[in-house]
Chain A
């Protein structure tokens, strides 16, 4: 009996193996290289506060830059070779196809390494991943954006979308609360949003310092300043876990339907592709099904907020 009869041939995998999976706009599964990052150059770094910096990235390869699109609310995995990758929500306008802006807080191993970089350094991005805010669904209504602390970063993308399509929305209010006045992000854009785009901004701080002239208190205190029409209002909420409960239940009591409130959740993610289960809440992945959820789904998910 010849030996070669029983040797199992090696089979390589190819694209055809994945034809049964759902092809998805902008997702890289079709190229099979889900782990391959787009190489980017950091074109500018702006220090926003003591802890946060705004990184402006540009995808180096013109072809990759050409196909990279995202929707407001989506995030990407920022890769620093040797250190690791971290999920970061995109804070720039999705109509800006040349540059991406990421507002990053120095919080861990990778972000600390990122803070040592200077302009011109290279990083890689994977993505975009996750769900987005349904901006078209919101059109024709009032929009209420509520942010706490760094939660303002993911809200900047929908805020850009609203200001670029301002005529499609009625009243737009931004409620923004932080601990100290020095932690306010994107203060340089406040005037632009208020005076050019007619977006009303309400800020509040927990601990005022000598220079602070605005309001002092918790974010819920800001609700007294505005009138909410629950019939025609969509809300977007992002902030620390404790804020979701307080704010969303307040809005719920006002009568805003749960499926018109959107929250952006935060979890530690390792793959971004719904495989590692680190970001799993109940039966839902924050990376594929989220990070944007309507409040109804969040209510149904145990341990979500």
Chain B
């Protein structure tokens, strides 16, 4: 990692050149919601004027550049009685600008899931390798809980990360590509004052988190609370729409579908992002459903996010961006569910300490 400081006006020249020459995506305002707040999404940008640098958070995450909603896994071309299977791993160079620390963390988690183990995914790698990621730090929204998940700072997984230190950006350069591009622009090595401003900025960000989720020993709590009534309570609210999984930056579960071309000369196997909250997620041949109730499926999502992956890769899969909480039509958000789960048992804890018989 190499650290540099660049003036904001010079950074604008740099992004202009980069965005002009490459297929680029950045945050842009698309609409306002019912409360008049701006809604942002990652959309094509061609110059730094298009990018909403002061955006809060996008409604959808950046995972769709790596895990598109529909992706062709392979193609079958029929000839007489025979067929030919064709597979291609597409990856065109793109620039992603303006990702938040938690978004980049999410990509690192996806790397762990999809590129490690017995069957690394070439489809994902082709896209990941061809993406130039520029991260920007930001002040958290009131409902972000990235700090609780320890994803409010980031040290790897990007090409360039910009911290806003007043007049300048403090750049963390993590790739030779980014370093070579920046050679053409006016940057300087950070001096003591810049380092102080960076530390100050990080402290401000860290202190601005207003939402907190206590995740201490959460995997074991989830295990113990498997039959807790909390799941039924929140499950009854859940509409099984699967929106949470679609906006989540780390949800990667999918289904595979095959379909014939309309001229019957070929067929494609496609992968389609899926949600574990959808009714038929755990249904097997013969019609048995292993998770028939809303609560079961909602619970499964929390298990996968906070427990299952913790057991396999020693980290929780949730990054704390609270996109699912904002998008949920039924008003379910992870902070409330997890705190509810904790409260359920903490109430009995106070009972014990206040009960004279037990002391």
Contacts and interface: CB of A to CB of B under 8 A. Distances in A.
A276 B308 contact: no
Contacts of B122: 13, 18, 32, 34
Contacts of A111: 285
Contacts of A280: 304, 308
Interface in B247-278: 252-260, 267, 269, 271, 274, 276
B238 to A, nearest CB: 17
A304 to B, nearest CB: 9
Interface in A251-292: 266-268, 270-271, 273-278, 280-283, 288
A283 B18 CA distance: 42
Contacts of B276: 277
A9 interface: yes
Given A35-B73, A81-B83, A10 B91 contact: yes
A122 to B, nearest CB: 7
A107 B287 CA distance: 9
Given A13-B89, A266-B284, A82 B76 contact: yes
Nearest to A277: B253
B78 interface: yes
B273 to A, nearest CB: 10
Interface in A1-32: 1, 3-13, 17-18, 20-22, 24, 27, 29, 32
Contacts of A303: 290-291, 296, 300
B256 A271 contact: yes
B151 to A, nearest CB: 20
B87 A85 contact: no
A282 B119 CA distance: 20
A84 interface: yes
Nearest to A273: B119
B256 A275 contact: no
A86 B285 CA distance: 10
Given A84-B256, A85-B256, A241-B288, A11 B269 contact: no
Given A1-B17, A27-B118, A268-B284, A36 B74 contact: yes
Interface stretch (B58-66, B101-109, B124-132, B188-196): B124-132
Nearest to B261: A82
Contact of B309 (A9, A271, A278, A283): A283
Given A22-B117, A35-B73, A282-B303, A107 B285 contact: yes
B252 A84 contact: no
B91 A82 contact: no
A273 B118 contact: yes
Interface residues of A, number: 58
A275 B252 contact: yes
B33 interface: no
A288 B276 CA distance: 19
A223 to B, nearest CB: 25
Contact of B258 (A81, A108, A273): A81
Nearest to B251: A277
A86 B126 CA distance: 27
B257 to A, nearest CB: 7
A195 interface: no
Given A8-B95, A81-B76, A111-B285, 15 more contacts: A5-B181, A6-B21, A8-B93, A12-B91, A27-B119, A29-B120, A81-B258, A81-B267, A84-B258, A268-B282, A268-B284, A268-B285, A275-B254, A276-B271, A283-B312
Interface of B: 17-18, 20-22, 73-74, 76, 78, 81-83, 85, 87, 89, 91-93, 95, 113-122, 125-126, 129-130, 132, 177, 180-181, 184, 226, 252-260, 267, 269, 271, 274, 276, 281-286, 288, 290-291, 296, 300, 303-304, 307-312
27 contacts: A1-B184, A3-B21, A4-B21, A6-B17, A6-B18, A8-B177, A10-B92, A11-B93, A13-B122, A21-B117, A33-B87, A81-B83, A81-B258, A82-B76, A85-B258, A107-B286, A108-B285, A241-B288, A266-B285, A268-B282, A268-B285, A270-B254, A273-B119, A274-B118, A276-B254, A278-B255, A288-B119
